[in-house]
Chains A and B, each alone.
Chain A
């Protein structure tokens, strides 16, 4: 801990102690425990200004950060039958799902929008980890298929930001079938000659990783993002070994050849604009 932290911390505490200053105006970094004023943090796209830790972000924030300013339109996603298994554990899935919908003000764990990135048309799908841990059921699968079809229709690349705890267990085998269904979505985009780019954010695991997330023409991840197939606890129980340092983190996957690059969030939109421009030389030639 530097002299600076020692110095700054008590001052923040005094600030927080004051009346009229709501506590949530200050955000603590979960990695380095430093406090940041919320506007400062938001200006830095929820990346800690002290240690560079990438905090989890809401789906809407992702859209704002990725598209050119105010140049995107969200689309309504197809409805799918809710609760195909009429699943119930300690609570009905239909009730859990309703609670999640009400809390998130959306139907499920995916949002899709189209707009421009660096002046180029693009379709962006973002998974919402806040919605039942970003788990993939029929709605997410259908949304990815819809995003792919929209990309083909608009002759635009598809970029998917992944964040998922894996399969939506309450949809059983229906959830499992989203793996081939989303794989078909990636094929639709690729066969149309369009780039399919995945941006893996913290955390991306299970059936999402083992389907469309790992089928990108380009695969990008945010620093420190947890990315894997099996959960850490399951692996520990199976192999009874201590997991290596940095296991299943973005940098680990990069070193093991699973990613093209690890890109800081603040550079991400520019990088997407750059690579889309490079991949779509035919379009530039047409325009010229």
Chain B
């Protein structure tokens, strides 16, 4: 059963009709090929029209779509022999951050991501992608491991933000995030970060201070959620669509502001409609971003990475 977003209702209706026709033809042996083809074409047109002009708020909903590929889909789908690694070596294993080693197009890499989970049970286990300090400390550990063995780092960011909890604060959430950002910046190996869904605040940048930052077409990336921004600046969380508009959080906005390097196109109707095609597109983009970085020595790589971040926002953009 496909999960439809509110604004996808016209698509849902057309696809519902097609499904009904198929069932009828199975039961009654009617020839409905022509009618199905006509409706399918209509439905495709509808999807194309809808997705060509998604509002920032609609993109936010797509970015959070429950059927969207999750970080672990990229880890297992893009890497051969992916082997998960665990633990921060200090306090706990935090499943909100997943990571490990594997081969990306024949090359050994370290991959890290924030994982939201796919059903109630796994969402609870991964804490809905909201990491505690242990998650960021585990990420830092894996980044340092990558540095030690000269392995490029691929990160996959999908989080509404770091977990705002008493325990997380007690164990130094802020310090853990700061150190994770520092580790990204200090890595002597290429770091390619991809915002695959929600790039929420400090919890996202903790894994995304990379040489190349890619963003999926319908992903969002900002300093606070539209709901949070609306609650503070509009004093009304229901103003989230207006906040999403004002915050410039779409891939297109971020590219124009030169805060990300490239946009990864999504299949028609969003990543959740064709997960396999999404992974293929992401792999292509990541390989493309990685190639030039592999030619740089560690010092040049780090210097270039720093310069890139230092240049951000210095220039006024029209």
Contact = CB atoms under 8 A, between A and B. Distances in A.
Contacts of B181: 179-180, 183, 210-211
B224 interface: yes
B97 interface: no
Contact of A234 (B164, B209, B309): B164
A88 interface: yes
A244 B166 contact: yes
Interface stretch (B21-29, B242-250, B276-284, B292-300): B242-250
Contacts of A227: 174
B178 A215 contact: yes
A270 interface: no
Interface stretch (B10-18, B36-44, B114-122, B226-234): B226-234
A89 B317 CA distance: 21
A173 B185 contact: no
A248 B171 CA distance: 11
Interface string A192-215: 000000000000001101111111
Nearest to B311: A181
Contacts of B314: 80-81, 138, 142
Nearest to B165: A239
Interface string B156-184: 00000011111011111111011101101
Given A179-B202, A215-B178, A241-B166, A256 B223 contact: no
B182 A183 contact: yes
B47 to A, nearest CB: 28
Contacts of A116: none
Contacts of A145: 310
Contact of A239 (B162, B166, B233): B166
B222 A172 contact: yes
Interface string A80-118: 110011011110000000000000000000000000000
Interface residues of A, number: 56
A184 interface: yes
B316 interface: yes
B170, B173, B184, B257 — most chain A CB neighbours (10 Å)? B170
Contacts of B201: 167, 176, 207
A173 B174 contact: no
Given A187-B186, A211-B181, A173 B221 contact: yes
Is the contact region of chain B dominated by helix, strand, or loop, or is it mixed? helix
B182 A187 contact: yes
A258 interface: yes
A85 B162 CA distance: 24
Contact of A210 (B165, B178, B306): B178
A229 B174 contact: yes
B6 interface: no
B61 interface: no
B256 to A, nearest CB: 10
25 contacts: A85-B257, A89-B242, A89-B243, A172-B248, A173-B223, A173-B253, A173-B259, A174-B312, A176-B223, A179-B181, A180-B184, A180-B205, A181-B310, A184-B309, A207-B202, A214-B172, A214-B179, A229-B174, A229-B202, A230-B164, A238-B163, A239-B165, A247-B166, A247-B169, A256-B172
Interface of B: 162-166, 168-175, 177-179, 181-182, 184-186, 201-202, 204-206, 209, 221-224, 228-229, 232-234, 242-243, 246-249, 253-254, 257, 259, 306, 309-310, 312-317
Interface of A: 80-81, 84-85, 87-90, 138, 141-142, 145, 167, 169-177, 179-181, 183-184, 186-187, 206-207, 209-215, 227-231, 234-235, 238-239, 241, 243-244, 247-248, 252, 256-258
